[in-house]
């Protein structure tokens, strides 16, 4: 029989050791955000919400609740209705998106709003998606300098059909461009999904008007959309792994075989120990990256590139190793669509490839290590920075 129960709804409290790893962020701010996230996601993101999202419905009531709670604007300046949270303090939000598999472009909107706010520009109302220059995007900026336009196409754009705005990076440029997607004839969105059924759409631009341009929003950190997107996916992977681990431990303690819970068998204990280790490794690496990621109030851009690369590499590896163990412990019943484990693991498999796969980030780190040479390798590792 398929177990259709929801995963446990526990507060996402961080152990004291993890708070040390994030360099002593404001505990009061984080605690307040944790309570808001637990209440909002724990009470509203359930099987019915996921079923509606999988049918293509926009969860408007949930989105409005997120906006009213101030989560979208949390990392922006106070002048822009934000509280200038660091990414370390915003950790409960990013992690919660994965733990509850929240069907919203919240991470993308937070990143876009922060980048605009840091540049002194007020973020526009509505959801924001991110278009990252690279293999999934072929884009070019044209038009007059005072009235730039965007042409080309981008694949696998998160939630584009439901977003009003897109913050776009283009090859060979440090600038970012804010484009309104509601431009009939100039912007065309074609629906698509990732492995988890989340919207990943194709967007075609044809001389689309650019609303705002930001020049080098995060000095010292190249490709800010790619890096901050990788940070968000790393935190979400850590949250989804925690959900998978908790479901697996609970099932192992409840499933009786040969007169005792399967958790009593050494082979199951060994598997759960590996899953727990992968979960902790993912969480720790993502927390370190969140502590150094530049924001309005804090962050170290000189280290952020290294830390985020390590986090995305390690979290993607943990997703690859951890998801099969969760299904093995469940005896494969979690593969059915209605089972909550299915939602967690499908997102693990999808998110590990977004904003750079483990192989892509490993190649970048390996290339930097080779360029550093034997003399400078160890100093670069201890500084968490490759020059």
- pLDDT tens digits, residue range 326-366? 999 999 787 787 889 999 999 999 999 999 999 999 999 99
What are the C-alpha distances in Å from 114 to residues 124, 230, 248?
Answer: 11, 15, 36
| pLDDT per residue as tens digits for the range 254-285 | 998 999 999 999 999 999 999 999 999 999 99
pLDDT per residue as tens digits for the range 122-166: 999 999 999 998 877 889 999 888 899 999 999 999 999 999 999
| Range scoring the smallest mean pLDDT among 22-31, 180-189, 191-200 | 22-31
Distances from the Cα of 350 to the Cαs of 51, 95, 135, 306, in angstroms? 18, 16, 17, 23
Query: CATH 1.10.540 spans which residues of the chain?
Result: 16-118
DSSP string, 90-144: THHHHHHHHHTT--S-HHHHHHHHHHHHHTT-PPPSS-EEEE-SBTTEEEEEEEE
DSSP secondary structure letter of residue 222: S
Q: 20 to each of 91, 144, 381, how far by Cα in Å? A: 14, 50, 20
Q: What does the radius of gyration of the chain's CA atoms come to, in whole angstroms?
A: 21
Which of 45, 25, 13, 121 lies closest to 76 in space, CA to CA?
Answer: 121
Q: Is the dihedral of CA 196, 199, 202, 205 positive or negative?
A: negative
**Going by CATH, does the domain composed of 128-214 fall within 1.10.10.10?**
no
- Domain 224-383: CATH superfamily is Butyryl-CoA Dehydrogenase, subunit A, domain 3 (1.20.140.10)
pLDDT at 280: 98
pLDDT at 23: 43
Three-class SS state of 23: coil
Collapsing DSSP states into helix, strand and coil, what is residue 251?
A: helix
What phi and psi values does residue 103 have, to the nearest 5 degrees?
-85, 65
Its pTM stands at: 0.91
Higher pLDDT, 372 or 280: 280
Those residues with Cβ within 8 angstroms of residue 149's Cβ, 6 or more apart along the chain or in another chain? 141, 142, 143, 207, 208, 209, 210
Give the residue range(s) of CATH 1.20.140.10 domains in the chain.
Answer: 224-383
Q: Which tokens in the block code for residue 190?
A: 């074609």
Largest CA distance in the chain: 76
Give the position of tokens 């409960």. 92
Could you tell me if 69 and 110 are in contact, meaning their C-beta atoms sit under 8 angstroms apart?
A: no
Distances (CA, A) of 347 to 92, 100, 150, 258: 18, 11, 31, 34
Is the model's pLDDT at 13 over the cut of 80?
no
DSSP-derived secondary structure letter, 69: T
pLDDT for position 26: 67
Q: Is the pLDDT of residue 297 over 60?
A: yes
CATH architecture of 16-118: Orthogonal Bundle (1.10)
> What are the structure tokens assigned to 92, written together?
């409960």
User: In the predicted model, what is the mean pLDDT of the chain?
Assistant: 91
CB distance 136 to 154 below 8 Å: yes
Q: Tokens representing 58?
A: 């926009």
pLDDT of residue 318 exceeding 60: yes
Q: Note the pLDDT of residue 332.
A: 73
- The residue whose two tokens read 């404001």 is 26
- Distance between CA atoms of 179 and 163, rounded to whole angstroms? 11
Identify the CA nearest to 113 among candidates 168, 74, 147. 74
Cα–Cα distance, 325 to 346 (Å, whole number): 13
Provide the pLDDT confidence category of residue 198 given band limits of 50, 70 and 90: very high
Contact between 324 and 275 under an 8 Å Cβ cutoff? The reply is: no
Q: For the chain, give the percent of residues with pLDDT over 90.
A: 77
Start-end ranges of CATH 2.40.110.10 in the chain? 128-214
Query: What is the band of 248 on the pLDDT scale with cuts at 50, 70, 90?
Result: very high
Contact yes or no for 235/91 (Cβ under 8 A):
yes
**Residue 27's pLDDT band (cuts 50, 70, 90):** confident
Pairing of strands 128-131, 165-169: parallel
Instruction: Name the pLDDT band for 120 (thresholds 50, 70, 90).
Output: very high
Alpha helices in the chain (DSSP H): 16-21, 27-44, 47-54, 60-68, 91-99, 106-118, 224-254, 266-292, 301-329, 340-351, 358-383
pLDDT at residue number 387 = 67
Tokens of 363: 């190649």
Q: Rounded to an integer, what is the distance from CA 281 to the centroid of its chain?
A: 16
Q: Which of 25-34, 58-67, 240-249 is predicted with the least confidence, judged by mean pLDDT?
A: 25-34
């Amino acid at each position: 029989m398929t177990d259709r129960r929801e995963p446990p709804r526990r507060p996402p409290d961080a152990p004291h050791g993890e708070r040390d790893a994030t360099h002593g962020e404001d505990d009061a701010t984080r605690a307040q955000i944790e309570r808001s996230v637990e209440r909002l996601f724990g009470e509203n993101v359930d099987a019915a919400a996921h079923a509606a999202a999988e049918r293509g419905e926009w969860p408007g009531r949930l989105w409005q609740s997120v906006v009213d709670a101030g989560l979208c604007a949390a990392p922006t300046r106070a002048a822009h209705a934000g509280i200038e949270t660091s990414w370390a303090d915003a950790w409960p939000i990013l992690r919660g998106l994965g733990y509850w598999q929240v069907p919203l472009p919240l991470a993308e909107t937070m990143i876009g709003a922060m980048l605009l706010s840091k540049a002194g520009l007020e973020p526009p109302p509505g959801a924001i998606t991110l278009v990252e220059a690279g293999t999934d995007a072929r884009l070019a900026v044209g038009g007059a300098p005072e009235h730039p336009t965007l042409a080309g196409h981008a694949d696998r754009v998160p939630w584009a059909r439901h977003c009003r705005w897109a913050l776009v990076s283009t090859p060979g440029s440090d600038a970012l461009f804010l484009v309104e997607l509601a431009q009939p004839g100039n912007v065309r969105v074609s629906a698509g999904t990732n492995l988890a059924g989340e919207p990943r759409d194709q967007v075609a631009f044809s001389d689309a008007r650019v609303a705002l341009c930001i020049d080098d929003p995060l000095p010292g950190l190249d490709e800010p959309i790619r890096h901050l997107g990788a940070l968000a996916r790393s935190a979400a992977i850590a949250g989804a792994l925690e959900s998978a681990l908790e479901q697996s431990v609970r099932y192992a303690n409840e499933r009786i075989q040969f007169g005792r819970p399967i958790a009593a068998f050494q082979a199951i204990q060994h598997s759960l120990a590996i899953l727990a280790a992968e979960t902790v490794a993912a969480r720790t690496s993502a927390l370190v990256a969140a502590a150094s990621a530049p924001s309005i109030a804090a962050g170290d851009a000189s280290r952020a590139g290294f830390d985020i690369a390590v986090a995305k590499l390690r979290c993607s590896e943990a997703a690859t190793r951890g998801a099969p163990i969760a299904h093995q412990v469940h005896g494969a019943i979690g593969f059915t669509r209605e089972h909550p484990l299915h939602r967690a693991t499908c997102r693990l498999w999808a998110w590990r490839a977004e904003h750079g796969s483990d192989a892509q980030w490993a190649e970048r780190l390996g290339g930097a290590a080779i360029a550093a040479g034997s003399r400078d390798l160890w100093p670069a590792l201890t500084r968490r920075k490759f020059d």
